[in-house]
């Protein structure tokens, strides 16, 4: 009798430990996913973590509904190599289509019962778990896993784990999509702001967009990480935002500026930083805007910073901005030929400009296809 109770208690203890481990894993996963808002990275993370939660599976798939096509698209697949390509799935078709349509999870062990193929077919699993992804009861896709590596069948514990994980995934995916939509709207607003600034002067139309694109290409050649490239792009679009507070009569003046007018123009980086700084989501762009007129030799403005003390992104925009200014027509001078502008960059490398950034930009200039793409933003 006592032996029987001891065995029962041991099993309960094992079950409890397993449940604690599962809950800890789910907590860690939920926390990790909530920190990632890049949709592409998030999709990859979801598949990795799904496999981890299930203790190792032969394959796993994240399948999302595409509103435009009305079909389910396999966004990420991880597992054994397939003999057939993964195609779009119609709602109600196959296991994933049925689970999406019904909004209910499905667990199948021993596929022979379903007549879905034989074990010799590499694409046909023996066991499968498929659960819907829902946001406010609306299905947005399905999460599917097949065949435990151990060879065991799936059980109710596995199903419960996957359902819990799916609920976390659905919320995180929805948040990431909302964030992506918000970012797109934000970028559109930034572009509108930059375009309104460029429109103040017929000679500078498209300037901010070109500087942003040149800067991005330099950043890519310098292997900046995606988050830095994003900051660089937005900051470059807004680099001249401080000119909003400067009279159009001065900005468009065809004759030589007076010393007083030139000093006023030189305040635009500080003015721009002051405009942007109160917006918390733009704060990381402030150094780029404030210091894009600093020189590598320390003779720039507003603070006379020198060398690598100048923020990297500000140094990048300095080169891109200068090149675009040289190759654009101004009220007081004609356009400089691209070859001459490139020579000027080389001539000022080490004095006005960071030599490493000049070298990277010369590589951009040699890419004819990329330059042609950017030149679309040059208006006559």
CA neighbor of 352 nearest in space, from 360, 344, 342:
344
Active site residues: 243
Which strand (E) or helix (H) includes residue 379? none
Which strand (E) or helix (H) includes residue 61? strand 57-66
Strand order in the sheet with 71-79: 89-90, 71-79, 57-66, 138-148, 128-135, 106-108
Half-sphere exposure of 100 (CA within 13 A, CB side): 24
Locate all alpha helices (DSSP H) within 145-225, ordered by sequence. 156-198, 207-221
Backbone angles phi, psi at 155, to 5 degrees: -130, -175
Structure letter (DSSP) for residue 300? -
Distance (Å) of CA 222 to CA 125, 327, 349, 363, 366:
45, 23, 17, 11, 16
């Amino acid at each position: 009798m006592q032996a029987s109770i001891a065995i029962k208690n041991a099993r309960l203890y094992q079950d409890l430990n397993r449940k604690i481990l599962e809950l800890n894993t789910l907590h860690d996963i939920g926390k990790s996913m909530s920190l990632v808002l890049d949709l592409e990275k998030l999709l990859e993370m979801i598949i990795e973590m799904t496999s981890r939660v299930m203790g190792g599976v032969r394959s796993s798939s994240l399948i999302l509904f595409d509103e435009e096509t009305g079909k389910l698209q396999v966004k990420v697949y991880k597992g054994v190599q397939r003999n057939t390509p993964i195609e779009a799935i119609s709602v109600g078709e196959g296991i994933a289509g049925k689970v999406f349509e019904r909004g209910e999870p499905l667990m199948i062990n021993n596929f022979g019962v379903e007549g879905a193929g034989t074990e010799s077919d590499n694409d046909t699993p023996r066991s499968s778990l498929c659960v819907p992804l829902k946001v406010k009861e609306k299905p947005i896709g399905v999460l599917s896993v097949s065949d435990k590596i151990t060879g065991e069948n799936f059980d109710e514990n596995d199903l419960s784990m996957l359902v819990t994980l799916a609920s976390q995934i659905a919320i995180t995916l929805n948040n990431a999509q909302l964030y992506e939509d918000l970012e797109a709207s934000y970028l559109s607003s930034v572009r509108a702001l930059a375009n309104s600034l460029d429109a103040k002067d017929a000679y500078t139309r498209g300037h901010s967009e070109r500087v942003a694109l040149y800067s991005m290409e330099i950043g890519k050649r310098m292997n900046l990480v995606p988050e830095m490239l994003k900051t660089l792009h937005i900051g470059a679009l807004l680099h001249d935002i401080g000119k909003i507070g400067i009279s159009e009569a001065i900005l468009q003046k065809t004759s030589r500026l007076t010393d007083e007018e030139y000093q006023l123009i030189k305040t635009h980086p500080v003015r721009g930083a002051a405009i942007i700084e109160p917006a918390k989501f733009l704060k990381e762009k402030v150094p780029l805007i404030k210091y894009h007129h600093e020189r590598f030799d320390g003779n720039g403005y507003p603070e006379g910073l020198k060398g690598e003390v100048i923020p990297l992104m500000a140094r990048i925009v300095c080169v891109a901005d200068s090149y675009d200014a040289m190759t654009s027509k101004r009220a007081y001078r004609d356009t400089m030929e691209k070859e001459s502008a490139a020579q000027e960059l080389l001539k000022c490398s080490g004095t006005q400009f960071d030599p490493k950034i000049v070298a990277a930009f010369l590589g951009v200039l040699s890419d004819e296809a990329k330059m042609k793409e950017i030149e679309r933003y040059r208006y006559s």
